[in-house]
Amino acid sequence: MTPSAQTLLRWGARRLEASAVPNSFWTAEQLLAGRLGCQTVELHVESPSVPEEVRALFETDVASRSGGMPLQYLTQTAGFYGRDFAVGPGVFIPRPETEVLVETALEILTHSPLVVDVGTGSGAIAITLALERPGLQVLGVDQFSIPLRFARANARRHGARVQWVQADLGSALAARSVDLLAANLPYLDPAQSDSWGRELFWEPWAALNGGSGGLHEALRLLRQASAVLKPDGGLLLEIVPDQVEPLKALARANGFRWDRVVRDLAGLDRVVLLWKN
Ligand code: GLN
């Protein structure tokens, strides 16, 4: 007899719980609904019986999640700014704190300038800006082809008009062409990796590793940015709170004036806005 969804959910939740996965029952629901191609509520309203091959896939998913693989890689989707983005191994999973960066960009973008999402990954920032402000010209840049494949697929899925470029940071951008650079660059300091959740180790190292102090990539971009930005162009960067002061000094030394730091929903300093002098 094929097991019911309820039986599988209870089994999955117990197994996940034993591996210290938070929200174990909810996680089991997400995994099973994903495999059945239904909404989680249907698991309870209809309690469908689960075909053998789906059960096998679900059990593999539960084992993978128990081993630390991020849920988003298993369901192949991550929510960002109210939309679903396709993700998978090889691309950074968009985080809610980056929505603050998008909101700040939307506040300061008044007419139809060129905005560039540097290190676009799944394309979450670029695509969201293009959809929220259809007048914008948006460019998404990433160094690697796997993220760009996801970004292109996500743009098609949402009908967003974004131009994609494979390049290292701002190296492919024309001089004095850009109104706003918006970037969630890698900013974690590998010296602190002891405190990282185990899920992080499944994500591309290149999307996380900010070198000692975490600001290596930010500094490389700052050095390129004054050449590619128009006069009075802006630079929005996602950071962690202890980078505010060092970044202030780096910004000044590289021809930028400090505007503000914006907090995320957890109350942490998360996004800085700088203007080219
Ligand atoms: N926000 C991510 C985290 O702390 C890090 C992202 C990044 O390095 N840009 O999990």
* CB distance 59 to 3 below 8 Å: no
Q: Ligand 1 centre and the CA of 170: distance in Å?
A: 20
* CB distance 269 to 263 below 8 Å: yes
Q: Looking at the predicted structure, is the pLDDT value of residue 182 above 70?
A: yes
Counting residues of the chain whose pLDDT is more than 70, the rounded percentage is 99
Helix (H) or strand (E) holding 142: strand 137-142
The residue contributing the CA closest to ligand 1 atom 4 is 188
Residue 1 pLDDT: 66
* CB distance 213 to 238 below 8 Å: no
Residue 234 pLDDT: 96
CATH code of 5-67, in short, is 1.10.8
Per-residue pLDDT tens over the stretch 67-93: 999 999 999 999 999 999 999 999 999
Q: Ligand 1 centre and the CA of 73: distance in Å?
A: 16
* CB distance 27 to 72 below 8 Å: no
Residue 189 pLDDT: 97
**Residue 48 — pLDDT band, cuts 50, 70, 90?**
confident
Q: Ligand 1 centre and the CA of 193: distance in Å?
A: 12
Per-residue pLDDT tens over the stretch 128-168: 999 999 989 999 999 999 999 999 999 999 999 999 999 99
Domain with CATH 3.40.50.150 in the chain: 78-276
Q: Looking at the predicted structure, is the pLDDT value of residue 251 above 90?
A: yes
Q: What is the pTM of this model?
A: 0.95
Give the position, in ligand 1's atom list, of the atom nearest the Cα of 98: 1
Q: Ligand 1 centre and the CA of 8: distance in Å?
A: 33
Q: Which residues approach ligand 1 with their CB closer than 6 A?
A: 95, 184-188, 200, 208, 238
**Cα distance between residue 155 and residue 142, in whole Å:** 15
Q: Ligand 1 centre and the CA of 140: distance in Å?
A: 18
The residue contributing the CA closest to ligand 1 atom 1 is 95
Q: Ligand 1 centre and the CA of 36: distance in Å?
A: 31
Q: Ligand 1 centre and the CA of 113: distance in Å?
A: 27
Q: Looking at the predicted structure, is the pLDDT value of residue 28 above 80?
A: yes
Give me the mean pLDDT over the 12-34 stretch: 97
**Average pLDDT value for the chain:** 95
Give me the mean pLDDT over the 6-16 stretch: 96
- Among residues 55, 15, 51, the alpha carbon closest in space to that of 32 is found at 55
Give the position, in ligand 1's atom list, of the atom nearest the Cα of 186: 8
Give the position, in ligand 1's atom list, of the atom nearest the Cα of 119: 9
Residue 121 pLDDT: 98
Q: Which CATH superfamily is domain 78-276 in?
A: Vaccinia Virus protein VP39 (3.40.50.150)
Ligand 1: residue of 95, 189, 216 to mutate (most ligand atoms within 8 A of CB) is: 95
Domain with CATH 1.10.8 in the chain: 5-67
Per-residue pLDDT tens over the stretch 205-240: 999 999 999 999 999 999 999 999 999 899 999 999
